[in-house]
Amino acid sequence: MATFKERLSELIPIKRNILKNLVKEHGDTVISHVTVEQALGGLRGINCLLCDTSSVELDKGLIVREIPIRHLTDKFPEEIFFLLASSEKPDKEGIDEFKNELAKRSEVPGYVWDILKAMPKDSHPMTMLSTAILSMQKESAFYKEYSEGLKKDSFWEPTVEDALNIMAKTPSIAAYIYRLRYNKGDRIFFDPNLDWAGNYANMLGIDDPNDDFKDLIRLYLVLHCDHESGNVSAFTSSVVSSALSDPYLAVSAGLNGLAGPLHGLANQECLKWILQVYERFDGVPSDDVLRKFAWDTLKSGQVIPGYGHAVLRVTDPRFTALYNFGKNNLPNDDIFRVVQKVFEIVPQVLTEQGKAKDPWPNVDAVSGSLLYHYGIKEFDYYTVMFGVSRIMGMLAQTIYNRAMMLPITRPKSFTTEWLRRTVHNID
């Protein structure tokens, strides 16, 4: 049976040839155009990034290697990473070998713990995670081999080594940050008998007699694994990596982007709104009360967090997966019941209002309520959990980009004066 890295070595020449032929045969074909609104609107909607790990379709949601995410919710994150990086699902023997490989690489260098302990006690947990990943850059196999002389077509090989090491160590680091930052007690050690996500859940120290929390974390990490390459964290990581910075530098940069309020903060903002509803009405409101509150919120110029999506025009299938988990595992939880009530009422209100292109919920509308139920009530930590998952996508994209020998990312910029002259045909 081929190992993960051996299988990549078989697949990469095939995929390189596909790209080579596309450039050779269709290099002059136009695939997109740019309007002034797009150029000044964050480049939204411009088709200019190659990303084979995943795509987001308006009527299907997240697609991982041509497989809708709704068909992958019973998988372990290790299987998802294997799929993201290689384009293939591993068989049972393959995934067992991959899990063992991650377990062997899970030990975190002692200096990382010292660095985290030395940081200010009120450091943001995302700053701590980014710093911890960055501090391990000295371990980079890519950096060492590149410095010694490495052929371009082999760049992907030490990149895989770095990716596996980062992925293997991240759960221990992220869990320790939670325990250290919020005074939850001593570090809990990695258990070689548990899977990657199960270990993360266990090391957080949440009481979990029936393993429900472990199941939630497995699902959560699968659902947040990747989201094309144009989102801030993936794009930042990709740009940094394109300069041949090693994966430690690239992932740390991507995490810094994920920490931004407009990217990774959404689930906690959604939960804050749900808690405000619960507190305002001293419990789960009736349909009529919630409908009026939703209308009042919209009329005041505010949005209802968690509803709407830049691409989707259907209910986010990631929302559906977590929503079903909630219905099956915590149907009597009052906060989750508010989420249910909002899901029943708010899309109707948004449809009646007629302004929202997408009145349906995205994944952030429910994820925070589930974490809250199991005792993760420190909102600033939610982006770390998001980061643990999204590291899979960043690493898989880095491996792919190196394997395809993609060039440095260097778009051309323009001035406002140039744009003004261009649109007015001024010489």
Tell me the catalytic residues.
263, 309, 364
Q: Please calculate the CA angle 409-162-401 and round it to the nearest 5 degrees.
A: 30
Element containing residue 224 per DSSP (H, E):
none
Indicate the pairing of strand 61-64 with strand 67-68.
antiparallel
Residue 167, both tokens? 């992925």
Q: Where are the alpha helices (DSSP H) in 105-191?
A: 110-118, 125-135, 141-148, 156-181
The token pair at 287 is 């349909």
What are the Cα distances from residue 118, in Å, to 113, 123, 248?
9, 10, 21
Task: Please report, for residues 83, 132, 139, 143, 169, the alpha-carbon distance to residue 109 in angstroms, rounded to integers and kept in the order given.
Answer: 28, 10, 9, 18, 9
Q: Are 94 and 4 in contact (CB under 8 A)?
A: yes
Q: Name residues whose C-beta falls within 8 Å of residue 328's C-beta, 6 or more positions apart in sequence.
A: none
In whole angstroms, what is the distance from residue 199 CA to residue 196 CA? 5
Q: What is the largest CA-CA distance in the chain?
A: 73
Q: What's the rounded Cα separation, in Å, for the pair 84 and 80?
A: 6
Sole residue written with tokens 């009329």 = 299
| CA distance to 156, 267, 312, 320, 350, per residue, from 357 (Å) | 41, 20, 9, 19, 9
Classified as helix, coil or strand, 154 is helix
Is-contact 382 360, C-beta < 8 A?
no
Residues 425 and 402: their CA atoms lie apart, in Å, by 41
